[in-house]
Amino acid sequence: MKPRLLIVSNGYGEDLEAAQIVRALPADRVAVSAYPLVGLGRSYPPDVELLDPRRDLPSGGFGIRAGWRSLWADLRAGWWRMWRSQRRTLRAQRGRVGLVLAAGDVYCLGMAAAAGAPTVYLALPKSEYISPHSPLELGLIRRFAAHVFTRDEVTADALRRQAIEAQYVGFTLMDTLALTGETFGFADGRPVVTVLPGSKPPAFNNLGLLLRTMQRVAAQHRPAPGVLIAWAPNLDRDRLRRSVEAAGGRWSDERHFSFGPLAATVASDHFADALARGTVVLGMAGAAHEQAAGLGKPVVAFPGTGPQFTAAFVAEQHRLLGDALVAARSPEDAADAVIRLLGDPAERDRRGRVGRERQGGPGGAAAIARYLLTRLAA
C-alpha cells in the first residue's frame, strides 16, 4: 500500500501552489487526496481525489476579512452548515492518511488538524513584510504544525526565533509559471501592458475600470502600448463577452476586441507568457501580482470593486512587494504611473529587481515534495 497524503487548502492561490507540489511527487510512491475548503479545487491534477462537500461562497473565501456584509452573505449561503460538513469530512480521514499538508492561513491549519495526522504547514498568505504572526497564530502553529514552510526567508527566520521549526526553500507560487515563448502576436520591441482583472467574480466589473485606465494611457503615450488581458480560465467567457459589449466594446473574434481606441487581446492560457510579455503590469489581482513581481515586472494597482481588492488590500500588497508595486489611488493615478514606467526603463529595472528579491526563485515545490516523501517513509 502506498502511503497517503491529504492536502487541505483554502484559496485559489493556495490550490495552485499545492497542486504544483503534487506534480513534483512521484505518483507511484504516494497516493494524494485533497480537500479545498474554498471553491471547487479546479487547479488540482485530475488524478488527485477531491473530497466533498465543495462549493463556492459569495465572499470567495474572504469572509470577515472582506467585511461584515460579505460574512453575512456567506452565512445566508449556508457557511455554517458547510463548515460542519467540512469538519465531518476531515474527521473521517483519521487513520486513513499518514501525513497532512495544510496550505493556507492558520484557520486552514486548524481545520487540517481534524484529520488526526502529523501536519506540515505551508504558510502561504502570511509574511513578515506585511505583519508578524500574532500570539494566537503562533500558538496555533506550535500546537498543530509539525513543520512549517514559509513564503520568504524573513518569515522563516521570525518563526525560528519563536522556537518554531520553519524553513524557506523557495516560493512555490513561482513554480507554477511555465514559459513557452508565446508572444500573442505582438511585435518584438512593442511596449505591452498586461492587465490582470483577478480570478474572482468582481473581475467582470474591475475589467471596465482597468480598460478605462488604459484608454487614458493610450491617449497620452506614443506609441500606444499593446493591451494584453490575462483572463482567469475559471471565469466565464460568455459573461466576459457580454460585459465588454455592455461597456461599449466590440469583439472582432473570440480573442480580440476594441474598446474605443484600444485594441485588446484576451489570453486565457499561457499565463506565464502573458506576464513575461508585459512591459508593465496593471491589475487588481492577488497571487498574479506576486508572480508578476517575481518575474521582474513592475506592477501598478488601485482599488476596485468587490470584497477583495480594497484600498486596505492594496496597501497590504505594497508592504509585501515593496517598490515592485505602485499603489495608486484611482484610475487616473494608475494611468499616470503606467505612463511614467513605460517611459523609464531604469525605473522599471529597479522595481523589477525588488520584485525578484522579495518573491525569490522557483524550486520550492520540488524541495517540499522531497521533504513530504521523507516524512511519509519514516
Q: Is it true that 4-176+362-377 and 192-359 share their CATH fold?
A: yes
pLDDT for 115 equals 97
Burial class (CB in 10 A: 0-12, 13-18, 19+), 374: exposed
Beta strand pairing status for 147-150 and 119-123? parallel
CA–CA separation, 232 and 286 (whole Å): 12
Note if the bond before 223 is cis, omega within 30 degrees.
yes
Q: Which three cell numbers stand for residue 89?
A: 469530512
**Continuous H helices in the chain:** 12-23, 68-76, 79-91, 106-112, 135-144, 153-161, 172-175, 203-220, 237-246, 271-277, 287-294, 311-321, 331-342, 345-359, 364-377
> For residue 13, which of 266, 145, 198 has the smallest C-alpha distance?
198
Reading the block at residue 297, the C-alpha cell is 515586472
Joined together, the cell numbers standing for residue 365 give 515545490
Q: What is the rounded distance in angstroms from the CA atom of residue 287 to the CA atom of residue 9? A: 15
CA neighbor of 336 nearest in space, from 226, 229, 216, 194? 216
d(CA 305, CA 291): 22
d(CA 264, CA 211): 9
Contact between 59 and 51 under an 8 Å Cβ cutoff? The reply is no
- Domains of the chain by residue range: 4-176+362-377, 192-359
pLDDT the model gives residue 38 = 87
| Secondary-structure percent of the chain, ordered helix, strand, coil, rounded to 5 | 45, 20, 40
Task: Please say whether the beta carbons of 368 and 18 come within 8 A.
Answer: no
Please state, in angstroms and rounded to a whole number, the distance separating the CA atoms of residues 366 and 345. 34
Closest CA to 132 of 112, 161, 104, 103: 161
What pLDDT score was predicted for residue 307? 74
Burial zone of 189 (CB within 10 Å; 0-12 exposed, 13-18 middle, 19+ buried): exposed
Assess if CATH 3.40.50.300 describes domain 4-176+362-377.
Answer: no
| Other beta carbons less than 10 A from residue 247's beta carbon | 16
192-359 belongs to CATH 3.40.366.10: no
Q: Is the dihedral of CA 266, 316, 141, 307 positive or negative?
A: negative
Residue 345, pLDDT score = 98
Fill in the amino acid letter for 361. G
One pLDDT digit (tens) per residue for the chain, 378 residues: 899 999 999 988 899 899 999 999 998 999 999 999 988 888 899 999 999 888 776 666 555 455 556 666 676 666 778 889 999 999 999 999 999 999 999 999 999 999 999 999 999 889 999 999 999 999 999 999 999 999 999 999 999 999 999 999 999 989 989 999 999 999 999 999 999 999 888 999 999 999 999 999 999 998 899 999 999 988 999 999 999 999 999 999 999 999 988 999 999 999 999 999 999 999 999 989 999 999 999 999 999 987 778 999 999 999 999 999 999 999 999 999 999 999 999 999 999 999 999 998 889 999 999 999 999 998
What pLDDT does residue 63 have? 53
Report how far residue 82's alpha carbon sits from residue 88's, in angstroms, rounded to the nearest whole number: 10
Cα dihedral 372, 169, 230, 289 in deg (nearest 10): 130
Q: Letter for the amino acid at 125?
A: P
